[in-house]
Amino acid sequence: LRMVSATPMGTDQVSDEELRPSGLDEFIGQPRLKAQMKLFLNAAMKRGVPPDHILLAGPPGLGKTTLAMIVANELDSPIRITSGPAIQHAGDLASILSSLEEGEVLFIDEIHRLPRAAEELLYIAMEDFRVDVVVGKGPGASSIPLTLPRFTVVGATTREGMLPSPLRARFGFTAHLDFYPKDEMRKLILRSAGVLGVSIDEDAADQLARRSRGTPRIANRLLRRVRDWAVVHDLDHVDATAVQEALDLYQIDVEGLDRLDIAVLRAICGSFNGGPVGLNNLAAMVGEESETVETVCEPYLVREGFLVRTPKGRVATSRAWEHLGITPPDDVNV
């Protein structure tokens, strides 16, 4: 596997690397998605052609990058990594495309943030495997059509709805990743503990699973903090008490809610009397972009039954009031 990265790796991403499963069989959970992916990749390999383009949609930290790398691994193909925001001009994308090899996987993270001109260039390249390279400037400029080898785009997005339909239509396979249920989180934590050489019991894994917000990236991060705790306290085994004490120290919510989740619930209950409140008002109240509230925060709160979306706006549920430890005023129906 050869990787060329177009973006510098953040520290979180660097530490993601050692825990990344390299094959589909090691990828925890998401059984249906794995079965579909396996069929799709096997068919392409049997036919001896690169597979259709793949779109991976879902909140951050659920395994989109991991799956892109697994696709390349399973196909035994090189992978090129870039992202929507890293491509500022269509020309940046044209030069990546024109240097691809036959069968190469092109991973485009945050594909919904590609500039419009790059988007157009991309869907022509995805459909017809050609790109027009512009040479020269001004009136003397000309464009040279270039035929590309067959390649596979793996696009990742936290906002599938923002992809223009012509681009969305170019993907032969779309996978939606959802938060992992507790038992899959427990398995994931036990696997990561094995890789990191941390001895942990089932109860402790359970505690961690409960507090990881259904998100592998968070589980792995919390596991590292628990490992720190064990090292400092000379424990050679992590039990539920150690997990509890370590995570309490880091103020990790017992339900796995993070700072933003709590701020959103507090805003709805405290400032908007339980709702309904519109997304933009809510985002302004917690000082975040609407996009972040909508794509990072809400899906989990809705899934866990802390918040409901109604035509009039977001409404806090009784579970939210309880979790905040506030009694709802009499005029609030929960």
Nearer to ligand ADP, 20 or 319 (CB): 20
Spatial separation of the C-alpha atoms in residues 319 and 307, rounded to whole Å: 8
Query: Does the protein bind ligand ADP through residue 275 (CB under 6 A)?
Result: no
Does residue 20 bind ligand ADP (CB under 6 A)?
yes
- Residue in the block written with tokens 């988007």: 119
**65 catalytic residue (yes or no):** yes
State yes or no: residue 83 binds ligand ADP (CB under 6 A): no
Distance CA 298, CA 308 (A): 9
The stretch near ligand ADP (CB under 6 A) out of 17-25, 117-125, 270-278, 299-307 is 17-25
> Which of 57, 65, 90, 113 lies at the binding interface for ligand ADP (CB under 6 A)?
65
The closest alpha carbon to 258, from 212, 205, 326, belongs to 212
What number of chain residues touch ligand ADP (CB under 6 A)? 19
Q: Which is nearer to ligand ADP, 53 or 64 (CB)?
A: 64
Residue with tokens 């930290």: 61
Task: In angstroms, give the least distance from the CB of 118 to ligand ADP.
Answer: 20
Q: Is 163 exposed, middle or buried (0-12, 13-18, 19+ CB in 10 A)?
A: buried
Q: What is the CB neighbour count within 10 angstroms for residue 132?
A: 14
H/E run at residue 11: helix 11-17
For residues 84 and 274, which CB has a smaller minimum distance to ligand ADP in the complex? 84
Here's the x/- map for ligand ADP, 139-158, by CB under 6 A: it reads as -----------------x--
CA–CA distance, 317 with 308 (Å, rounded to integer): 7
- Distance (Å) of CA 333 to CA 130, 177, 199: 58, 33, 47
Cα separation, 76 vs 70, in Å, equals: 9
Parallel/antiparallel/unpaired status of strands 105-109 and 79-83:
parallel
Catalytic residue among 158, 215, 295, 317: 158
Looking at the Cβ atoms of 74 and 94, the one nearer to ligand ADP is 74
Say whether residue 274 binds ligand ADP (CB under 6 A). Answer: no
Instruction: Determine the residue with CB nearest ligand ADP.
Output: 63
DSSP, collapsed to helix, strand or coil, labels residue 55 as strand
Instruction: Calculate the CA 49 to chain-centre distance.
Output: 28
**Which residues line the annotated binding site for Mg(2+)?**
65
Give residues in contact with ligand ADP (CB under 6 A): 16, 19-21, 27-29, 60-66, 156, 188, 216-217, 220
Active-site residue list: 64-65, 109, 158, 217
**Which residues line the annotated binding site?**
19-20, 61, 64-66, 127-129, 170, 180, 217, 309, 314
